[in-house]
Amino acid sequence: MDTTIDPDQLRRRAASLRDLAARLATTPALTLDGVAGHDTWDSPRAELCRRLWRANRAQLLAAIDDLHARARRLDRQADHVELARQVFA
Amino acid sequence: MSLHGYDPARVLLLRARTLGSIDALEAIRSSDPEASEAVRVARLARRTLEDTWLPAIDAIHHSTAMRTWRQEIGLGTVTGVRLLARLVDTFGARSTWMTTSPLAHLDDHRLRARLDTAVDALERAVLVGARPTDVVSARRTLATILVELLDRTAARPPRVPGPWTALDPAAMARLLDVAVRTAEVTGLGLVPAVDRRRPFEDPLVGVLALVGTGGAIGDPLRARLEHHAVASGAIADAVLRAPEVVDLRVIVTVAAAMVRQLGPEARGARLTPRALPTPARIDGLIRLIAGAPAGALDLVSDGSVAPVLATTPHLDADAVEALLASALGAPPADATAHRAQLEAWAGLVATTPAGALTPGASRGIARSVGPLLADLGVHLDRRRPVVLTAADGEPVRLGSYDDVARLLGDVLSDHAAQAALGLAIAVYRDEQLGAAVSALRTGPDRDPSRAAGVVGGHLADVTRVVELVVAARVDRDGLLALRHAAWQGTAHDLLGLVGIATSLGGLPAAPVARPLTTVAARSVAKAVDATSPARLPDVGLDADLAAGFTHAALGPPTHDPAVRRAVGLEHVSTERWAELDPLLTALAAEVDPDERAWLDGRIRAVVARDPDLDAYLETVRSISGEDRLG
């Protein structure tokens, strides 16, 4: 365990990742499929758009989860650094 | 939904949401390495929206059907679009489902291939005399493809070429040929006509609309267009059926070709009566073009078209009048258009045979001459060519004094044209008098000692225009309509102006006496009744002598302040002398008569801007007897 790392900085990074995840989660892009259905437009081109977007949307949702996971990992790392510092103090 | 298509209101919301998503994803950034994957995913998503979604949505958004829908529901503002998007978003509002072209799924390349097949099929059907139903079917197929091409072209951002530009000129010419042939067969009654309410079902309408979307019309295509325009009425009929979708340049090209056919040269070259375009069709095109001054100017600027327009009796007089008034009388859009207007005037002066103007052309010219009078008044001199300066600084030679007078004389043969010209002169005189009065009452020329120069300078220009009219019309008794209009149109009373000048103490002064007397004596009616001015031909030597006079009269005060004071020109601004100095020096050094005449015109323009200088030059001309040479 590298105890020279600043735990506050790790927590700031975690907060920043969570903020980014929140921004992604609230982007209007994730509501696009709700207004782009067959009752809005219907054609082979529209179908192609929807198919492509399904992949992008899944990636975006996965990225949000991934950001939260990375944030949690950074928080845990900060906790460990603080604990190590207390033990070796 | 079983049919391919879209809900226009929901598409508006979709477009707004897509644009918002692109902006939001664009803002997803982070310098943290842990966020790099998320940023990459956001970038990929944004590119999908930009590269795939937005073009597809915009193809619908900019389509003819969608534009028409927005117009019909009055959705012209951003606020309106937002309101509608909110209605759809919050309350699930819907609009009528609009079906889309069955070709919408084809990319440009495949659409082009489909076009070639359709052209082949229609050509075969027309050539072999297939059953009318087969021709109609092939015609409809081609028309559908053309509409899809047009919609895709309209959906392209500016400067991005539409798919039709992939058509080489030969393919485009063939498309035009087949469309024209189909229209001719239809015109003969061999095939059911197209519903007039749906002009795009005629492939020729679609082709003509396409021609205008590709920027400049290339020479080969222009030649083909002109050929068909004069060979049959199909092109003109198609334009007149759907004028709003055909580019103005195409309409002007078609009209120009048809008008040329009415000219004497084309008449000599024609072999069959079939080649004579119907004047009624030309009238229709001319009326269309008259509604757009830029197009009208294009047509009238064409040296092979203007004389035919102005002299052909078969054309509708009202249409020709409207066209010329639009071309020559509308305020020019820019400096280039101003020069084009002056050149069109020069073309009319140069190419219209004496006594050949039709009544419509006379009225059109008379209606549009008003804006020209201010320039003419400054530059008119019997012995010089009339050279005006365009807004871009380029000189344009209108013609000799006598040629301009001859054109005006022809114009004045028509009573309605006389009235129009009389009104124009009245307005011009009115403006000059108004400017003089304003300067005397409120301007920097309030000084009574300068009143004479102010009044004289303003009125001298009017006098020159009136003299031109007098020179234009030998038959002075025939100018009743002009005299009547000129007097009726005058708001300012000459006597009132004289009274103002007198009260300021300037009238008796020498410089004003002569110009004012000239105007009083030669004001429209009296001049027309009583004056018979000598008419000298505008020869080079004479014009050159006039340029020499200008130099002799203006050189000393320009170069010597003491002379300025002696001749009462001490109030002329330093800037004005600085303008004159190099021009006079250049005039003294120039030997080419044309250049001398041009420089002389420039000097006279500078002089005309200063009432004192203008009055001075007029006085010197009078005292020296120089003016009587003219």
Residues of B within 8 A of A28 (CB-CB) are 17, 20-21, 24
DSSP characters over B573-599: -HHHHHHHHHHHHHHHH---HHHHHHH
Q: CB of B32 within 8 Å of any CB in chain A?
A: yes
Closest among A72, A56, A54, A47 to A24, alpha carbons compared: A56
Percent of chain A predicted with pLDDT > 70: 99
Least confident of B132-136, B289-293, B596-600: B596-600
Angle in degrees, CA B51, B53, B56, rounded to 5: 100
- Where does the pLDDT of residue B486 fall: very low under 50, low under 70, confident under 90, or very high at 90 and above? low
Helices (H), ranges, B219-311? 219-231, 234-241, 248-261, 264-269, 279-290, 293-301, 306-311
Q: Kindly determine whether residue A36 and residue B14, on different chains, have CB atoms separated by under 8 Å.
A: yes
Q: CB of B333 within 8 Å of any CB in chain A?
A: no
Percent of chain B predicted with pLDDT > 90: 15
How near does any CA of chain B get to the CA of A79, in Å? 18
Say if residue B300's pLDDT is above 70: yes
Question: What ipTM, to 2 d.p.?
Answer: 0.95
Q: CB of A48 within 8 Å of any CB in chain B?
A: yes
Choosing among B34, B60, B111, which should be mutated to test the A contact, i.e. which has the most A CBs within 10 A? B34
Q: Kindly determine whether residue B45 and residue A40, on different chains, have CB atoms separated by under 8 Å.
A: no
- Who contacts B239 (Cβ-Cβ below 8 Å, separation ≥6)? B208, B246, B250, B251, B254, B285, B288
Residues of A within 8 A of B25 (CB-CB) are 27, 29
- Tell me which chain A residue has its CA closest to the CA of residue B85: A35
- Identify which has the larger pLDDT, B46 or B202: B46
Residues of A within 8 A of B48 (CB-CB) are 52-53, 56
How near does any CA of chain A get to the CA of B71, in Å? 20
Q: What's residue B452's pLDDT?
A: 55
pTM: 0.59
Say if residue B335's pLDDT is above 80: yes
Q: What's residue B628's pLDDT?
A: 39
* Most confident among B368-372, B547-551, B559-563 (mean pLDDT): B368-372
Q: CB of B110 within 8 Å of any CB in chain A?
A: no
Q: Kindly determine whether residue A63 and residue B6, on different chains, have CB atoms separated by under 8 Å.
A: no
Q: CB of A1 within 8 Å of any CB in chain B?
A: no
Q: List the beta strands (DSSP E) in B344-444.
A: 385-389, 395-400
Which residues are paired to B396 by β-bridges? B388
Mean pLDDT confidence for B519-548:
37
How near does any CA of chain B get to the CA of A89, in Å? 30
Residues of B within 8 A of A77 (CB-CB) are none
Left, alpha or beta for B355 (phi > 0: left; psi -120 to 50: alpha)?
left
Q: Kindly determine whether residue B38 and residue A40, on different chains, have CB atoms separated by under 8 Å.
A: no
Q: Name the residue type at position B281.
A: R
Q: If you average pLDDT over every residue of chain B, what do you get?
A: 76
- Who contacts B420 (Cβ-Cβ below 8 Å, separation ≥6)? B363, B366, B367, B485
Token readout for A73 is 């990992």
Least confident of B124-128, B446-450, B598-602: B446-450
Least confident of A18-32, B14-28, B267-281, B384-398: B267-281
Q: Name the residue type at position B426.
A: A
- Identify which has the larger pLDDT, B594 or B364: B364
Closest among B254, B236, B235, B252 to B294, alpha carbons compared: B252
Q: What are phi and psi of B465, to 5 degrees?
A: -65, -45
Q: CB of A81 within 8 Å of any CB in chain B?
A: no
Token readout for B351 is 């190419």
Say if residue B208's pLDDT is above 80: yes
Q: At what angle do helices B415-441 and B359-368 cross, to 10 degrees?
A: 10
Helices vs strands, H then E, count in chain A: 3, 1
Give me the torsion for CA of B404, B408, B409, B413, rounded to 10°. 160
Residue B301 and residue B277 in contact, taking contact as beta carbons nearer than 8 Å: no
